[in-house]
Amino acid sequence: MKVEVILHAGLLDGYDFEGKEVVVIDAFRATSVIVEGLHNGAKSIIPVESVEEAMSIKAENPEVVLGGERDGILIEGFDLDNSPLNYLPEKIKSRDIVLTTTNGTRTLKGVVGASAVYLGAFLNASAVARRVSNANGLVLVCSGSENTVSLEDSVCAGAIIYSLESQVSIKWTDTAYMLKSLFSDNRDNLGEFLSEGEHYRELVAHGFEKDVQFCLQLNKRSVVPCYDGTTVKR
């Protein structure tokens, strides 16, 4: 299997995903929120790019839950922010969630033409690897942060590849091999290693250290969210 990696969403333009399976990663925090939301019983998650689109859907269907952030902070008028710790069964079970985030939802919307699109995080890295182990071609898409590389997404991609390597023979691209090695060398001290990352430090500075620690739990969930171009479900 050939495994490719796109390091941030700014590199998506013009990429041909035709016939390939894709895993979108935004580990701090969008894909972790989606994994946890579906694990806790959400009916579906509808990613949108703008606050205005989310509010329009809410106006048409008041029963939906609005979730998301801008610059890491709860959006005015929304029900939930972008903390996986807040997507609890009593708030979301059997409900549709409309989600908009700075990077993650934009990345999902930018993946066009793939045969299947899954969402990955540290929380479900091994489960994702099992799901894509029979892919003819695999592309891991890191959301990054505002068109730059983010350390946590890159290392998360490495975690998925590390697990995948035990199941299939991989034809390495340099980037895929580099990220697998980066995860392998630091898998026993992920928090310490990633704490030097810019996004990690930014989230902690804004009071989201518990979120970060939750998102770093490796293989805690078996849910593999699947995106059909409109909606994310189990």
Buried b (16+ CB within 10 A) or exposed e, 95-113: ebbbbbbbbbbbbbebbee
Write out pLDDT tens, residues 145-171: 889 999 999 999 999 999 999 999 999
Between CA 168 and CA 83 the distance in angstroms is: 34
CB burial of residue 73 (10 Å; 0-12, 13-18, 19+): exposed
Q: Is a pLDDT exceeding 90 seen at residue 198? A: yes
Report d(CA 76, CA 19) in Å as an integer. Answer: 40
Distance CA 41, CA 218 (A): 20
Q: What is the mean pLDDT of residues 85-114?
A: 94
Reading the block at residue 10, the tokens are 């700014």
| Domains parsed from the chain with CATH numbers | 2-233 (3.90.1560.10)
The helix-helix angle for 174-186 and 151-165 (nearest 10°) equals 90
> What's the count of helices (H) and strands (E) in the chain, helices before strands?
10, 11
Report d(CA 171, CA 22) in Å as an integer. 16
Do the bridges between strand 96-100 and strand 44-47 make them parallel or antiparallel, or are there none, so unpaired? parallel
Both tokens of 208, joined, read 């989201």
Q: Find where tokens 């996004």 sit.
A: 199
Span 6-14, average pLDDT: 94
The answer to whether residue 59 scores a pLDDT higher than 90 is: yes
Total Cβ atoms within 10 A of residue 54: 24
Q: For position 103, what pLDDT does the model report?
A: 85
pLDDT digits (tens, 9 = 90+) for 101-122: 988 888 998 999 999 999 999 9
